[in-house]
Amino acid sequence: MTETQIGGVLLVTTLLVLFSGVPIAWGLTVVAIAFLLIFEGFGSLDAVALIMLDELASFALLTIPLFVLLGASIGATAAGRDIYESFYRLLYRVPGGLVIANIFACGVFSAICGSSPATAAAIGKVGVPEMLRRGVSRELATGSVCAGGTLGILIPPSVTLILYGLATETSIGRLFLAGVIPGILLVLLFAAYAWLASILENRERASTSAVPLPDVHFTTGEKIAGLAKAGPFLLILIAVGFFMYGGFATPSEVAAIAAVLGLGLVIVIYNTWRARDLWRIYSDTVRESTMILMIIAAAALYSYMLSRLYITQTAAEALVSLHMNRWVLMAAINVFLLVAGCFLPPVAIILMCMPVLTPVLEANNFDLIWFAIIMTVNLEIGLITPPVGLNLFVLRGVAPDIPIGVILRGSMPFVIIMLLFMVLMSVFPEIVTWLPDKVMGPGR
């Protein structure tokens, strides 16, 4: 068989294995070993254990369990509720202020915990019932939180960007900086849509002579009290930025600082010092970190198999030899990622695809830092589109009385916003590259 034929069989086999429900790490490992055994013989298996262990020996991987610990600490408490409440007290007089408060809370909470499903669950548990009680439509209420939760893999610190940096050997600090402005702009675009949609809903409610909603008022003292509870968590974001971009610490050291600060804050503010509370935080951290690290090790073996069978090189050469317009190529890559994101989680897509895509992107003079943000926003869409749109099912669990179709309809306007935002970043790449170049100087 030619390398192209082997690659075709491998693609079909991998998809069948992953869609069968087998854990990603074990699925990739089994496929990699099977293809090495079939096409290279038993001698090719000598390096399997060494490849997986060497991949996990990277010092940069320390950031993953530490940032996961930070997210687990925040997610185990009522921090999401308090962050949401503080924004609501500030924005309650703005049309759609309740929805906008949820979106802002998603942005801040996701920046702290770095997990999209955790953000959707934490903010959704409080925000969705409150929005429904205040007359917000089911579509807008669930769609705003479902889409807002996706910001967890874009706004730093982001485990997804860390994995991209490891897969492409790009600077994690530069990737974090690249995600700041796009993350803020996406929050603002989501908020602008919520504001407009809320105005239209209010007009429709007024025209149908619906019963007016009760008035809500917060004193200055209540607003300050809300900020006082959410403020300490904002200090974590400030500390991460100060130590990392001020040149005082490496990403691994910053992750340790953030984890200690997060754990300390939840112990002090929410009294999570009991053994059962800490056990929940630590067990969640170990479980999620082990899952991610096993996927990384399996992906390394899978990449080794691709290279050993010359599939990666053949695919890259085939794409380059097409001599298509670089933007047509970029569009084709994004369509592929959109389809893949509907079925596979972001971690798996990055670790499986970037060994093939990296040489193609470099050959066509695409900035890998810029593409990281394009890819991340693309993968965000996969979190709110079926059949494996994880945030859809998280919101379904938070609001079991609302059909999944309603949640999906509410999410679609935000999907359109993200697609248009990807086009905007393509036309104006400085949205992504300006801040890292300004802070760290021009570079890869």
Tens digit of each residue's pLDDT (9 = 90 or more) over 277-332: 889 889 988 988 888 888 888 888 888 888 888 887 777 777 767 777 889 989 98
User: Would residue 33 count as lying in a domain?
Assistant: no
Cβ atoms of residues 114 and 70 within 8 Å: yes
User: Would residue 232 count as lying in a domain?
Assistant: yes
User: Would residue 39 count as lying in a domain?
Assistant: no
Residue 84 clears pLDDT 80, i.e. is over it: no
| Cut 0.85: pTM above it | no
Looking at residue 388, its pLDDT comes to 61
Looking at residue 209, its pLDDT comes to 52
DSSP SS3 for 214: coil
Q: Say if residue 403 is preceded by a cis peptide, omega within 30 of 0.
A: no
Rounded Cα distance, 106 and 296, in Å: 27
Helix, strand, coil percentages for the chain (3-state, nearest 5): 80, 0, 20
**Residue-range definition of the domain harbouring residue 104:** 46-440
Rounded Cα distance, 106 and 190, in Å: 11
> How many domains, the chain?
1
User: Would residue 319 count as lying in a domain?
Assistant: yes
Q: pLDDT confidence of 68, banded at 50, 70, 90?
A: confident
Question: Which stretch of DSSP H or E encloses residue 28?
Answer: helix 24-40
297 vs 1, more confident: 297
Residue 115 clears pLDDT 80, i.e. is over it: no
Q: What type of residue is 96?
A: G
Of 409, 422, 333, 329, residue with least CA distance to 380: 422
Q: Say if residue 157 is preceded by a cis peptide, omega within 30 of 0.
A: yes
Cβ atoms of residues 127 and 84 within 8 Å: yes
pLDDT digits (tens, 9 = 90+) for 405-429: 888 899 999 999 999 999 999 999 9
Rounded Cα distance, 334 and 378, in Å: 7
Rounded Cα distance, 406 and 143, in Å: 9
DSSP SS3 for 345: coil
Percent of the chain with pLDDT over 70: 95
Cβ atoms of residues 433 and 369 within 8 Å: yes
Percent of the chain with pLDDT over 90: 18
Looking at residue 351, its pLDDT comes to 82
When the pLDDT of each residue in the chain is averaged and rounded to a whole number, the result is: 83
User: Would residue 38 count as lying in a domain?
Assistant: no
**pLDDT, mean of residues 93-106:** 83
Q: pLDDT confidence of 373, banded at 50, 70, 90?
A: very high
Q: Which of 7-21, 118-132, 215-229, 290-304 has the lowest mean pLDDT?
A: 215-229
Task: Pick from 62-71, 107-116, 376-385 the range whose average pLDDT is largest.
Answer: 376-385
Q: What are the tokens at 367?
A: 């900035």
Looking at residue 120, its pLDDT comes to 79
Residue 355 clears pLDDT 70, i.e. is over it: yes
Q: How distant is the alpha carbon of residue 435 from its chain centre?
A: 20
**pLDDT, mean of residues 63-69:** 83
pLDDT digits (tens, 9 = 90+) for 137-153: 889 988 998 888 888 78
Looking at residue 182, its pLDDT comes to 94
Cβ atoms of residues 63 and 166 within 8 Å: no
* Residue reference for tokens 């905007």: 424
* Residue reference for tokens 């874009």: 154
User: Would residue 16 count as lying in a domain?
Assistant: no
User: Would residue 301 count as lying in a domain?
Assistant: yes
Cβ atoms of residues 417 and 377 within 8 Å: no
Looking at residue 288, its pLDDT comes to 81
Q: pLDDT confidence of 444, banded at 50, 70, 90?
A: low
User: Would residue 35 count as lying in a domain?
Assistant: no
pLDDT digits (tens, 9 = 90+) for 379-401: 888 888 876 677 777 777 777 88
